Amino acid sequence: MDIAGRMVQWAIKLSEFDLKYETWTAIKAQCLTDFVEEYAGDQEEASTTWELYVDGSSNKIRSGAGVKLVNQEETQVEVSLKFEFPTSNNQAEYEALIAGLKLAEEVGATKVVVFSDSQMVTSQINGEYQAKDPNMKRCLDKTFEYLRRFAETEDKHITRDLNSRADALSKLASTKPGENNRSLIQETLQEPSIAKIEGRQDVLEVSRLDLGWMNPLIEYLKFDILPEEEKEAKKIRREAQNYTLVKNILYKRGISTPLLKCIPTLRTTKFLEEVHNGICGNHLGARSLARKVTRVGFYWPTLQKDANEFVKKCQPCQMHANFHVAPPEELISITSPWSFAKWGLDLLGSFSQAHGQVKYLIVGVDYFTKWIEAEPLATIIA
């Protein structure tokens, strides 16, 4: 059958319907332009990502939450939410998160990045921790219910200093006694309180007697004053390259170490005593004592010598210290007669926490084949 015959059959079949043929009209240029502009605007709005900062605060009297919502155009919405019901600190964190997600939904956000300083809430949402408490389980389920309403979400843990605004809003809600807080006083300072008075000569914070060995270095670095003796002046100029002044405090520079705060001579014994047998001291030897003082961030030129003399004068060390004597014979290597006859075992960790809350490893190595076996552990037990 030719094409004309088929067209006749289709015309007969479609005759029972009330159909009317209209020709295709031209699309006006302005209509097409308006459509493209409207579609591009919707796409740009849909791709906007909102950042949500939340924090909860709870005390014996009141509890509250702080929410801060920001988009890429720096549009910012802040909420200080007060709770009229008792909550724990973790529940307040969840209430703050749920309130923030409600707010993000109201402004039409589709992509939300949540920032919280609560390690527990963030880890439970990401699946690293399990919610065993019934209240926390219900809060977590409610949070997932709101998270599923967005096209894309991400939950990140940040430190408290990066979440200061939300923390301040939560503290404001949990501490204000009435409906409105009218106790805020705002002032403006034109200059710092510690600003120098014009015409006044700079002076050292402590007297020359207290500084000891630090005096010549500070006078040279701060006032460019050198000793009168040429040999001593040359020595100070050479040693000063290893030191710097930060807010009138002398620090020792190092290649592989951070800045070490310099200690005056009269205070060295106090520092050694605190590190050696203080609240966290364990009566270290002289060399370990000097290294620990450096690790905690302090320095003076005679540190090693003073540590040796201090340990010799420590009565508990002289009475109870062990005498380490090397064995007279040579050490014997451990040998294995065949594969998997002898194993070496060790515990490693802690590492970054993985799924299942595992952060330790138990490792076994065969002495003969060097074959390695490793298993992750959540906790270390005997």
pLDDT tens by residue, 313-365:
888 887 777 766 666 777 788 888 899 999 999 999 888 888 888 999 999 99
Q: How confident is the model at residue 374 (pLDDT cuts 50, 70, 90)?
A: very high
151: Cα within 13 Å, side-chain hemisphere: 9
108 in any annotated domain: yes
- Considering the domain architecture, whether residues 150 and 86 belong to the same structural domain is answered as yes
29 lies in a domain? no
Place 97 in a pLDDT band, splitting at 50, 70 and 90: confident
Residue where a domain stops, chosen among 130, 160, 175: 175
**373 in the same domain as 280:** no
* Lowest-pLDDT choice from 4-18, 73-87, 179-193: 179-193
* Residues 293, 283 contacting (CB under 8 angstroms): no
Helices (H), 154-263: 164-175, 208-211, 214-223, 230-239
Contact 166, 57 (CB under 8 A): no
* 159 found inside a domain: yes
Higher pLDDT, 366 or 255: 366
pLDDT given at position 99: 85
**0.75 cut: is pTM over it?**
no
Gap between the Cα atoms of 108 and 121, Å rounded: 24
Mean pLDDT lowest among 144-158, 181-195, 314-328 = 181-195
Count of structural domains within the chain: 4
Specify the long-range contacts of residues 356-360, CB closer than 8 Å, at least 24 apart: 357/128, 357/129, 357/130
- pLDDT confidence tier of residue 135, bands split at 50, 70 and 90: confident
Backbone angles phi, psi at 353, to 5 degrees: -70, 135
Residues 364 and 294 in one domain: no
Residues 129 and 166 in one domain: yes
Per the listing, tokens 């919707």 go with: 42
Q: Is residue 195 part of a domain?
A: no
Specify if 183 maps to a domain. Answer: no
Pick the range with the lowest mean pLDDT from 81-90, 254-263, 322-331, 361-370.
322-331
Task: Answer whether residue 348 is part of any domain.
Answer: yes
- What does the alpha-carbon distance between residue 264 and residue 213 come to, in Å, rounded to a whole number? 7
Token digits for 33?
């332009």
Going by pLDDT thresholds of 50, 70 and 90, the confidence category of residue 38 is low
Q: Are residues 54 and 171 in the same domain?
A: yes
CATH number at residue 165: 3.30.420.10
Q: From CA 378, how far away is CA 350, in angstroms rounded?
A: 10
Q: Are residues 83 and 168 in the same domain?
A: yes
Secondary structure letter of residue 27 according to DSSP: P
Provide φ and ψ at 215, rounded to 5°. Answer: -55, -55
Indicate if 236 and 286 belong to the same structural domain. Answer: no
- Residue 299 sits in the same domain as residue 351: no
**Same structural domain for residues 65 and 127?**
yes
Q: Let me know if residue 236 belongs to a domain.
A: yes
CA distance 104 to 110: 8
C-alpha 52/C-alpha 94 separation (Å) is 13
Tokens of 288: 């370990």
**Do residue 54 and residue 165 come from a single domain?**
yes
Residue that finishes a domain, picked among 152, 175, 198: 175
Instruction: Tell me if 66 sits within 8 A of 166, measured CB to CB.
Output: yes
Task: List C-alpha distances in Å: 228 to 209, 211, 216, 231, 239.
Answer: 19, 19, 11, 9, 16
For residue 152, what are its two tokens? 């894309």
Residue 332 lies in a domain: no
Say if residue 35's pLDDT is above 80. Answer: no
Q: Scan for tokens 């190092």, then name that residue.
A: 254
Structural domain of residue 274, as residue ranges?
A: 265-320
Tens-place pLDDT, residues 279-298: 777 888 889 999 999 888 89
Q: Are residues 134 and 247 in the same domain?
A: no
- 247 and 136, same structural domain? no
What span, in angstroms and rounded, lies between the C-alpha atoms of 89 and 120?
Answer: 11
